[in-house]
Amino acid sequence: MDSDSLAPTMPAGAVGSESNLVGTKPRSATVRVGVIGYGYWGPNIVRNFHGLEHCEVVAVCDKSPAALKRAARSYPGILLTTDFAEVLRSPDVDAVAIITPVWTHFDLAKEALENGKHVFVEKPFTSTSAQAEELVELAERKNLRIMVDHTFLFSGAVRKIRELVDNGTLGPLYYYDSTRVNLGLFQHDVSVLWDLAPHDLSIMDHLIVEKPEAVVATGSNHLNHLADMAFITVYFPNNVIAHFNVNWLSPVKVRTTLIGGRDKMLVWNDLDPDEKIKVYDKGVNITKRESVYDLLVSYRSGDVWGPKVDATEALKVELEYFIDCILKERTPSNDGAAGLRVVRLLEAAEQSLQARGQLVRL
């Protein structure tokens, strides 16, 4: 279970009311999806796929009979199975969504692709970059889509920030600095780095066009052998820098990102329900610099504004895009290559963390 949440605002019981829609959509322009994994995150995936036009959830698979019982209550009539091979090999399934722990992603995705299915797979894409490379190559060879669930890219906040970066409002970027901390939820199979940092690394990858050059990470573990707090720094060309603080041992939940540009700076507080983004017309100008000891700076402090942020559930936007990419044979922006870039950064950060902050070049 990811300790972060773009979790639904809908009451859990609400999903069942739509179940009579299953199977009523036209076959020709419908993508039939099988979902593997109905633990914490899986129900959100099924609920959102289920509400989409041009999509039919035909099967849910989980090794746990208790999980399938929950699915049966919400979606009577859907094929429920504990055997993933039944879904991966079914001719009635066009695409498979893999919502299981990270160490299972590679084997499940590989088998799905080998059986001609498009793949939606949870973050982080895979446990190693070699696995991610193999899947990207396999999907290309089979002309199949891979989409990696980098959910935040589809949130109204990140879409708005991307707009502000793209239209030059912020000016050239100086830094990206995010804090994603809370108490728990401890994972038994991955560290806080592999659990929470994929969110921030995928957002950074989406906003900063330059290729990262090097990574430094420090961190520590206090309760088992997996890091429960980590500080990651990513270096880019032209002194652009990104920093991430991820921590499962924080007494309070914080989801705040600062993005500094030459012309404007912004604060994104994802926990603020009304004003998630505030843009500050603040900055520093060097007005005269005759020598390094004669630095004249002036500070600019202008208006603050809060752009409107679309409140549509990010997963809905993302899954709609997945279906659209399949039907129109388009490559999604959060494809296997994007997932691979994030896994490469995680591997480098892990290597640096193990070496107590040694610089790892990318």
Ligand X SMILES: NC(=O)c1ccc[n+]([C@@H]2O[C@H](COP(=O)([O-])OP(=O)(O)OC[C@H]3O[C@@H](n4cnc5c(N)ncnc54)[C@H](O)[C@@H]3O)[C@@H](O)[C@H]2O)c1
Task: Give yes or no for residue 202 binding ligand X (CB under 6 A).
Answer: no
- Min dist CB 59 to ligand X, Å, is 11
Q: Which stretch binds ligand X (CB under 6 A): 37-45, 112-120, 250-258, 330-338?
A: 37-45
Verify binding: residue 204, ligand X, rule CB under 6 A: no
Q: Does 62 bind ligand X (CB under 6 A)?
A: yes
Check binding of 170 to ligand X (CB under 6 A). no
36 is a site residue for ligand X (CB under 6 A): yes
Instruction: Tell me which of 84, 120, 174, 236 binds ligand X, using CB under 6 A.
Output: 84
Write down the least CB distance from residue 214 to ligand X, Å. Answer: 26
19, 25, 39, 304: residue in contact with ligand X (rule CB under 6 A) = 39
Of the candidate residues 15, 32, 41, 203, the single one contacting ligand X (CB under 6 A):
41
Regarding 64 and contact with ligand X (CB under 6 A), the answer is yes
Which residues inside 102-131 make contact with ligand X, applying CB under 6 A?
A: 102, 104, 122-123
Residue 71 CB, shortest distance to ligand X, in Å, is 10
Interaction between residue 191 and ligand X (CB under 6 A): no
Q: What is the 3-state secondary structure (H, E, C) of the chain?
A: CCCCCCCCCCCHHHHHHHHHHCCCCCCCCCEEEEEECCCCCHHHHHHHHHCCCCEEEEEEECCCHHHHHHHHHHCCCCEEECCHHHHHCCCCCCEEEECCCHHHHHHHHHHHHHCCCEEEEECCCCCCHHHHHHHHHHHHHHCCCEEEECHHHHCHHHHHHHHHHHCCCCCCEEEEEEEEEEECCCCCCCCHHHHHHHHHHHHHHHHCCCCCCEEEEEEECCCCCCCCEEEEEEECHHHCEEEEEEECEEEEEEEEEEEEECCCEEEEECCCCCCCEEEEEEEEEEEEECCCCCEEEEEEEEEEECCCCCCCCHHHHHHHHHHHHHHCCCCCCCCHHHHHHHHHHHHHHHHHHHCCCCCEEC
User: Under rule CB under 6 A, how many of the chain's residues touch ligand X?
Assistant: 26
Per rule CB under 6 A, is residue 151 in the interface with ligand X? Answer: yes
According to the binding rule CB under 6 A, does residue 318 interact with ligand X? Answer: no
Single residue of 48, 100, 191, 334 touching ligand X by CB under 6 A: 100
Binding site for ligand X (CB under 6 A): 1-2, 4, 6, 36-42, 61-64, 67, 84, 99-102, 104, 122-123, 149, 151
